[in-house]
Amino acid sequence: MKNFLLIAVSALLCVSAFCDECWSTGFCFDGSEITKEAILLKPTDSLAYSSALTEGEPKSLTINVEDTTNPEISASIFADYSETAVEGTETWDYTDEDFKDFPTDDTYLLTETVTSDTDSKVLTRTVTILPEPFGVMVIALIWALAFRKRTKSLLAVLAIVALSAFSAQADSCVSNVNCLQMWPFDRSVIINYTLTSNSTNPVFNVKFYGSLDNGETTFDLAEKGTISRDGANGTVAGTGEFKTIWTPDESFYETCCDDMLVKVTASEKPQPGSNTYMVIDLSVGKNATYFAISYLDDVPEGGWTEEYKTKKMVLRKIEPGTFTMGSPEDELGRSDNETSHEVTLTNAYYIGVFETTQEQYELIMGRNPSYYNGDARPVEWVSYNMIRGVNKGAGWPQSNEVDDNSFFGVLRAKTHMTFDLPTEAQWEFACRARTITALNSGKNLSDKNECAEMAEVGRYEYNRDDEKGGYGEHTAVGSYLPNAWGLYDMHGNVGEWCLDRYQHNLGNDPVTDPKGNTEGDERVLRGGCWENGALSCRSALRSIGEPDYDSENVGFRVVLVQ
């Protein structure tokens, strides 16, 4: 009997370990008034707040903390929001030097002051700090000791406790759900949670439920109010810590609960298969915490509108494959650094249908460095260092990390996905779209300089005055014919940065997933630009630039490896 009991408990714990839903701990919810009390359950919990000042722009938040048990212990947290709304969370970490004297199990008085140039709001609340919870372990130990006489085995006790610990720490889809009502002057609830996965760049379906009776009955938060920020469209891309905000509707104006619960459910969507196109919604702008990602099976009816070139960013999935990189010896305009060799790419990847445009760059970075302006024109005057960073971003191929303040640092933070530049091989494979000719239209050059075949597929030296716009300059992306995979402007318009350090001789031997040279400073540029003749815009053409090089004829497109 005791063996059966132990097996049953073990099985139950193992099943619970892989649960894809998670409840928050209880929190005080007041639908009609300001939340005045809260319990922080562990020493690294957070305070939630928002502001509704009568006048002026919220600029700062000061939180004064006083230990009511020992009034001599006090501290202050100051946050400068630089002309942006004071809204979010502030974390206390009692392991920090500033708070090392703050004991748990004590009660604290918080005085919070939100200030603008002309106005301020002050609110106080009481907070009780509890030690780090070891609930699962404690409960398991108590349960095991209670049954010790029946099991007659210390080993059984230890086994149950160990299994409980495993259950508490095993990977699950969603975990660490904690909630706080935003205040002062706001009924919205911040929902913090963590998503994990063994997949690369996963996408989750998420839902949010509430309960006012300790979980006996639940309601869909989306049906009782509005969901914003992460998960607002029912999906979240990537892994890590996420923040969702629920704003209740009128039905909650009279609701008050000292122990409201929120449950987050998450199920990982299958890795995109038929979802040929990935769309990043940038319309929320640079102040957003998250850019939503969705997928399309086909090009929208009527084609890619201006929105997909400016306020959204669309990428096309490229399946793994083998191709011949470089050019044949008899190709018109060939250079000696284009040695023909077989390359195998083992991972699918998404690549920008268009070169990154100026409005897209500005929505992500908050500025537009381009010389020739136009929302749907490719962004230019962007160096490799600006795109990836001068510190961690300079480490490829040893590392794929980027600087936090670089273009890809910001994009990664707001999508939880590891977007980057393409490798040189990924760029050429996508450009060629299975062609072996000088141009991805399946045609070769009829002339090294002025060439009718080149004029069909991109902006270059000899069609700068055509009807496509941008006289004597680059022009809006998507103005010329795409290749067989629906990618535009792989020839001309602006040259495009690749990840690789330049290596002059690529050799003739077959290679798999090449990453370029491990030494040197110069990086690879591909595709040619609006100032080049036809020979410099071929699929195999390889150019180089120092990582700090920027110009009105250099841009880039975005890649995400699966």
247 strand-pairing partners: 226
- Averaged confidence pLDDT in the chain: 82
Instruction: Let me know if 450 is exposed, middle or buried by CB neighbors in 10 A (0-12, 13-18, 19+).
Output: middle
List the Cα angle 225/230/232 in 5-degree steps: 40
Instruction: Let me know if 538 is exposed, middle or buried by CB neighbors in 10 A (0-12, 13-18, 19+).
Output: buried
| Number of compact structural domains in the chain | 3
Phi-psi region of 539 (alpha: psi -120 to 50; beta: other; left: phi over 0): alpha
Hunting for tokens 């999935």 — which residue is that?
Answer: 317
Go through 63-83 and write b for each residue having 16 or more CB atoms within 10 A of its CB, e for each that does not. Answer: bbbbbeeeeebebebeeebee
Residue 107 is assigned to a structural domain of this protein: yes
Residues 6+ apart with CB under 8 A from 242: 192, 193, 194, 195, 230, 231, 236, 290, 416
Note whether 499 and 466 are same-domain residues: yes
Residue 362 is assigned to a structural domain of this protein: yes
Residue 117: CB atoms within 10 A of its CB come to 10
- As a whole number of angstroms, the distance between CA 481 and CA 116 comes to 53
- As a whole number of angstroms, the distance between CA 415 and CA 560 comes to 11
Residues 6+ apart with CB under 8 A from 253: 31, 32
Note whether 421 and 348 are same-domain residues: yes
Q: What is the pLDDT of residue 151?
A: 42
Question: Higher model confidence: residue 204 or residue 69?
Answer: 204
364 lies in which domain range? 312-561
For 17-43, the three-class secondary structure string (H helix, E strand, C coil) is: HCCCEEECCCEEEECCCCCCEEEECCC
Q: What is the pLDDT of residue 533?
A: 98
Final residue before a domain boundary, out of 169, 185, 219: 169
- As a whole number of angstroms, the distance between CA 183 and CA 50 comes to 5
Over residues 241-264, the pLDDT tens digits come to 898 989 898 888 778 887 899 999
Do the Cβ atoms of 131 and 43 come closer than 8 Å?
yes
Please, which pLDDT band fits residue 49 given cuts at 50, 70 and 90?
A: low
Secondary structure element (H or E) that encloses residue 552, with its range: none
Closest Cα partner for 86 from 119, 109, 110?
A: 119
147 backbone dihedrals φ, ψ, rounded to 5° = -100, 10
Final residue before a domain boundary, out of 83, 108, 132: 132
Whether 324 has a pLDDT exceeding 90, the answer reads yes
C-alpha torsion sign, points 91, 97, 102, 103: positive
Note whether 124 and 158 are same-domain residues: no
CA 215 → CA 19, 193, 298, 428, distances in Å? 16, 18, 42, 55
- Give the domain CATH number at 75: 2.60.40.10
Residue 504 is assigned to a structural domain of this protein: yes
Q: What is the pLDDT of residue 96?
A: 62
Closest Cα partner for 133 from 47, 261, 41?
A: 41
Do the Cβ atoms of 430 and 485 come closer than 8 Å?
yes
pLDDT mean over 492-521: 96
Note whether 460 and 541 are same-domain residues: yes
Residues 6+ apart with CB under 8 A from 301: none
CA-derived radius of gyration, the chain: 29
Per the document, the length of the chain is 562
CA 497 → CA 85, 310, 326, 401, 461, distances in Å? 36, 20, 17, 17, 20
Note whether 12 and 122 are same-domain residues: no
Q: What is the pLDDT of residue 358?
A: 98
- As a whole number of angstroms, the distance between CA 248 and CA 222 comes to 9
Please tell me whether residue 228 adopts helix, strand or coil conformation: strand
Note whether 58 and 155 are same-domain residues: no
| Listed ranges 127-141, 164-178, 200-214; the one with the highest mean pLDDT | 200-214
Do the Cβ atoms of 433 and 484 come closer than 8 Å?
yes
Note whether 83 and 140 are same-domain residues: no
The strand pair at 495-501 and 554-555 is best described as parallel
Is the pTM higher than 0.85? Answer: no
Residue 302 is assigned to a structural domain of this protein: no
- As a whole number of angstroms, the distance between CA 542 and CA 494 comes to 14
Question: Higher model confidence: residue 550 or residue 18?
Answer: 550
Q: What is the pLDDT of residue 43?
A: 44
Cis status, amide bond into 248, omega within 30 of 0:
no
Share of the chain above pLDDT 70, in %: 76
Strand positions, DSSP E, 391-488 = none
- As a whole number of angstroms, the distance between CA 493 and CA 480 comes to 10
Q: What is the pLDDT of residue 145?
A: 45
Whether 154 has a pLDDT exceeding 50, the answer reads no
- As a whole number of angstroms, the distance between CA 217 and CA 528 comes to 62
Note whether 14 and 107 are same-domain residues: no
Assigned token pair, 150: 């029946």
Assigned token pair, 169: 């720490």
- Give the domain CATH number at 525: 3.90.1580.10
- As a whole number of angstroms, the distance between CA 469 and CA 459 comes to 10
Note whether 71 and 164 are same-domain residues: no
Note whether 138 and 55 are same-domain residues: no
Please, which pLDDT band fits residue 183 given cuts at 50, 70 and 90?
A: low
Note whether 385 and 499 are same-domain residues: yes
Residue 534 is assigned to a structural domain of this protein: yes
Residue 416: CB atoms within 10 A of its CB come to 20
Final residue before a domain boundary, out of 110, 132, 154: 132
Residue 186: CB atoms within 10 A of its CB come to 19
Whether 240 has a pLDDT exceeding 70, the answer reads yes
Note whether 410 and 430 are same-domain residues: yes
Hunting for tokens 């998450």 — which residue is that?
Answer: 266
Q: What is the pLDDT of residue 562?
A: 84
Residue 61 is assigned to a structural domain of this protein: yes
- As a whole number of angstroms, the distance between CA 416 and CA 194 comes to 12
